[in-house]
């Protein structure tokens, strides 16, 4: 992809800052949600109900509908990290990619936005697997590995940001190399590769993309369960419940 060096440097720096912010957010969350702390217990009012730890809905978080949709999770749980997903999908749309590819970009870092960063491609794929075409979840899974491997055919280089963050001598773990080897000749390789292409240069601090822009694509390609995500007894329901109620004691 032809990009001015200054813009590339800017987006890389922004990505580092965003990742740092995300990282801080996760740490903050884990501290905030450490509900064994007596003061916090009082603060959120459990003690008035004879309850020592939080179970179920968290009064500190935005209230979710009884039958939450993917859109609800974006609006009520994934902010502010959702802009990365929304801008990636927006760029994919501008680049004329298919609806499935746009959805893959929209969901590629869903685990980071709502859950966890480590092995996020795998967590994210598992989270969406019951609800999307296999091509989408497969691509989300392997983007974890593909981001480390250049593909000159689409102008994708090893990210300078990774050199900055992990060091020039960072060595990939064997499972990442194995994943790439399995993926590189796969029929859906280019769908996953498009996640990387629309990921790297997709940050614009002046651009606010709304999830509503993708309502139609979600409607056509994300099988929203009638009972609501988390209530539907799929292999991933527990993950959606955890996103909804991350501090529930059990
Ligand atoms: Fe990612
Ligand atoms: Fe990303």
Helix (H, G, I), strand (E, B) or coil at 156: strand
Q: pLDDT band for 50, please (50, 70, 90 cuts).
A: confident
Which percentage of the chain shows pLDDT scores above 70?
A: 78
- Residue spans of alpha helices (H) in the chain: 5-32, 38-43, 70-76, 82-94, 99-107, 110-114, 120-128, 134-146, 160-166, 174-183, 189-200, 215-221, 237-244
Cα of 142 from ligand 2 centre, angstroms: 12
Q: Which ligand does the CA of 86 lie closest to?
A: 2
What distance in angstroms lies between residue 48's CA and the mean position of ligand 2's atoms?
Answer: 43
pLDDT in tens, 186-232: 999 999 999 999 986 556 778 889 999 999 999 999 999 999 999 99
Of the listed ranges 33-47, 78-92, 151-165, the least confidently predicted one is 33-47
Q: Residue 113 and residue 79: Cα distance in Å, rounded?
A: 8
Cα 130 to ligand 2 centroid, rounded to whole Å? 21
Give 201 Cα–ligand 2 centroid separation in angstroms.
10
Which residues are close to ligand 2, an ion, with C-beta < 5 A?
Answer: 109, 199
The ligand placed nearest to the CA atom of residue 121 is 1
Q: Which residue has the tokens 């601090």?
A: 205
User: How does residue 49 score in pLDDT terms, banded at 50, 70 and 90?
Assistant: low
Ligand positioned closest to the Cα atom of 198: 2
Mean pLDDT of the chain: 84
Q: Which domains does the chain have, with CATH numbers?
A: 64-244 (1.10.3210)
Provide the whole-model pTM. Answer: 0.82
- Buried b or exposed e, range 79-108, using 16+ CB within 10 angstroms: eebbbbbbbbbbbbbeeebebbbbbbbbbb
pLDDT for 52 beyond 70: yes
pLDDT of 1 above 70? no
Angle at 143 between CA 142 and CA 144, to 5 degrees: 80
The pLDDT value given to residue 51: 74
Q: Is the peptide bond before 80 cis (omega within 30 degrees of 0)?
A: yes
The more confident residue out of 34 and 86 is: 86
How much is the average pLDDT of 74-94? 91
User: Which residues have C-beta within 8 Å of that of residue 75, sequence separation ≥ 6?
Assistant: 211
Q: What is the pLDDT of residue 17?
A: 62
Closest ligand to Cα 146: 1
């Amino acid at each position: 992809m032809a990009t001015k060096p200054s813009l590339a440097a800017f987006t890389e720096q922004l990505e580092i800052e965003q990742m740092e912010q995300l990282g801080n957010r996760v740490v903050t969350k884990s501290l905030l949600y450490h509900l064994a702390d007596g003061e916090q217990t009082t603060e959120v009012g459990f003690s008035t109900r004879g309850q020592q730890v939080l179970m179920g809905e968290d009064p500190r978080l935005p209230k979710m509908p009884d039958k939450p949709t993917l859109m609800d999770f974006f609006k009520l749980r994934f902010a502010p990290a959702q802009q990365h997903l929304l801008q990636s999908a927006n760029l994919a749309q501008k680049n004329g990619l298919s609806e499935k590819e746009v959805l893959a970009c929209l969901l590629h870092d869903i685990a980071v936005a709502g859950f966890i960063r480590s092995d996020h491609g795998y967590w994210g794929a598992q989270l969406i697997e019951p609800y999307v075409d296999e091509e989408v979840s497969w691509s989300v899974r392997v983007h974890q590995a593909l981001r480390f491997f250049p593909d000159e055919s689409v102008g994708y280089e090893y990210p300078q940001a990774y050199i900055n963050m992990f060091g020039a001598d960072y060595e990939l773990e064997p499972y990442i190399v194995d994943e790439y080897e399995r993926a590189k000749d796969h029929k859906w390789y280019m769908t996953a590769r498009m996640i990387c292409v629309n990921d790297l240069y997709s940050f614009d601090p002046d651009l606010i993309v709304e999830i509503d822009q993708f309502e139609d694509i979600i409607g056509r390609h994300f099988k929203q369960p009638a009972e609501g995500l988390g209530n539907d007894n799929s292999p991933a329901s527990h993950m959606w419940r955890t996103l909804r109620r991350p501090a529930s004691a059990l």
